[in-house]
Amino acid sequence: MQPIHLGPIDGAILLIYFAFVLGIGFVLKRHMRTSTDFFLSGRLIPAWVAGLAFLSANLGAQEVIGMAASGAKYGIMTSHFYWVGAIPAMVFVAVFMMPFYYGSKARSVPEYLKLRFDEKTRALNALTFAAMTIFSSGISMYAMALLLNLLLGWDFSLSIWLSAIIVLLYISLGGLTSAIYNEVMQFFLIVAGFAPLVFLGLRDVGGWSGLQTRLAAVSTAHGFAPGAFTHSWKFMGSAADNPMGVQWFAMLMGLGFVLSFGYWCTDFLVMQRAMAAESMSAARRTPLVAAVPKMFFPFLVILPGMIAIALTQQHGASGFSLPAKPDGSPNYDLVIPMMLGHYFPPGMLGLGLTALMASFMSGMAGNVTAFNTVWTYDIYQAYLRPRASDSALLWMGRAATVVGIAVSVAAAYFAAHFNNIMDLLQLVFAFVNAPLFATFLLGMFWRRATGHGAFLGLISGILAAAFHHGLTQPHGAITLAKGGWLGHVLHVYPSEMAQNFWTAIFAWTTCFVVTILISLVTRQQKSDDQLRGLVSSLTPRTTEEDVAWYKRPAALGAFVLFLALILNIIFW
């Protein structure tokens, strides 16, 4: 595979982008006077900025590269990660959960767990979340290194370290504010860079009807019904009838409930953006502002993958084909860069590649800012230096940024074992976010949940995920990173994603049941006064009579859910 050659104008666009990113960090550095400025932007971010940052924090390599790869691997069923696996949870967190997060004035999600439960529950979540952000950052780093290797022919390791240095500079300078304003810029770059790609690709294959015809041949070649790649629900009666290898229950429970709510309702990476908003009202509107563009992103990131696999199926007749990994499987992660090189002329190629770079920066920066906040507040200040001054916390935040990026480099090499980084990302979420969501659900809506129950429930959920993953494998797995590492395989799933969904279901269910059982036999150590503002039944309802209807979270949430339902029906 020959590297893509950049023209002078393409290189100039990329250099201007990097200069602008670093420039934002230098400009904001003088405003980073306190730890609150560095970690939470002083809680002065407007709702529309926080909303776009809330969305863009999730628009990293996992989204752009991973969703395009999943579009090629699983077809339009990948849209479930948006219309089922994101929108309902984003509405739920805005309407029901954000009042607890923002109202408690917690600086992080683990700190909320300390206030609601106890110190050991906070410590466990801080450690597991820190590990998850490292993996997620490593995934983005791996994807960026793949791109630089493809574009410039650079050595993979050199590309990883270069991407690490760039993100390190602008995060250590401007903190969360630098990340947020870069994320807003990156949102518009991604839209501008990928919309022309979708237009050119659809024109090449004859529009949606032409794509359906070509993907019918892909479906048949894989042993599925002709419409399996272009219908989102129609072929989910049986796991064997669709490319994702899941039936409707695994989709609704595994993705639509456990993984979706587990990510959008508990992941500090996105929650940090809402918690930086200027008011409670702005914080509640933040996920809803993000939800509207979120539901239309499948047309920007999934369609290119579907077009790419349709063109590849023509065996070179189209002039486009996906390269293969050493094991012979298609390298789905290269869908976007290969499509950019195939369709974009000089100048437009620079814009498209800048959009791609922006997605990597967004993903890496989002994870690193979440990591340095949790490390500094929930590990360093909580256990190592409880009386640390504000300047010491600010220094530690910058130091944690360096350490987090360095460890992410190791995670980037682990990501190379997967031909679709979205498969790896959902596996990480199944271990961490799935049991955590059970803990939050019980903690916020069941006063009787205790710290002992939450702690043992989380541990049980993580262990359940580990046992399930260790005793199962996806079809065709050739590495223990994909399961079966306990030495005996009890079940083989049709795909990695099917295995991930069921891993999440087992983790959530185990944590939910164990937390209830332990809570019933242990004593609640916090009084009602201590739990006020942290538990639904003990918290006064927010009144909205004096707020315009279009600013009320419940009304906005109902409108967003209606739009998502329409999209599900259209692509049924």
Identify the pLDDT of residue 230: 92
The residues, ordered by sequence, that sit 6+ positions from 2 with a Cβ below 8 Å of its Cβ are none
Instruction: Please check whether residue 511 is in contact with residue 460, taking contact to mean a CB–CB distance below 8 angstroms.
Output: yes
What predicted TM-score, i.e. pTM, was given to this entire model? 0.82
Instruction: Please check whether residue 169 is in contact with residue 401, taking contact to mean a CB–CB distance below 8 angstroms.
Output: no
CA distances from 284 to 109, 489, 535 (A): 16, 45, 17
Identify the pLDDT of residue 559: 92
| Residue 528 predicted with pLDDT over 70 | yes
In a domain, 446, yes or no: no
In a domain, 223, yes or no: yes
In this structure, what DSSP letter does residue 175 have? H
In a domain, 444, yes or no: no
Identify the pLDDT of residue 509: 96
Between 217 and 49, the more confident residue is 217
- CA–CA gap between residue 343 and residue 15 (Å, rounded): 22
Q: Which residues pair with 417 in a beta bridge?
A: none
3-state secondary structure of 430: helix
For residue 221, count CB atoms less than 10 angstroms from its CB and return exposed for 0-12, middle for 13-18, buried for 19 or more: exposed
| Residue 378 predicted with pLDDT over 80 | yes
CATH number at residue 293: 1.20.1730.10
pLDDT in tens, 170-190: 666 656 566 667 777 778 888
pLDDT in tens, 253-286: 999 999 999 888 877 767 777 777 777 778 888 8
In a domain, 387, yes or no: yes
Identify the pLDDT of residue 209: 92
Identify the pLDDT of residue 177: 64
What average pLDDT does this structure show over 197-207? 91
Residue numbers of the domain that contains 327: 8-25+45-418
In a domain, 506, yes or no: no
In a domain, 39, yes or no: no
CA dihedral for 492, 497, 502, 508, sign (positive or negative) = positive
Structurally, how many domains does the chain consist of? 1
pLDDT in tens, 498-525: 899 999 999 999 999 999 999 999 998 8
Alpha helices in 239-347 (DSSP H): 248-249, 260-266, 268-275, 280-294, 298-301, 303-312, 335-343
In a domain, 482, yes or no: no
CA dihedral for 35, 36, 37, 41, sign (positive or negative) = positive
Q: Show the tokens assigned to 243.
A: 């490319």
In a domain, 380, yes or no: yes
- CA–CA gap between residue 35 and residue 391 (Å, rounded): 7
Identify the pLDDT of residue 543: 65
Least confident range of 3-12, 116-125, 481-490, 538-547: 538-547
- CA–CA gap between residue 274 and residue 43 (Å, rounded): 9
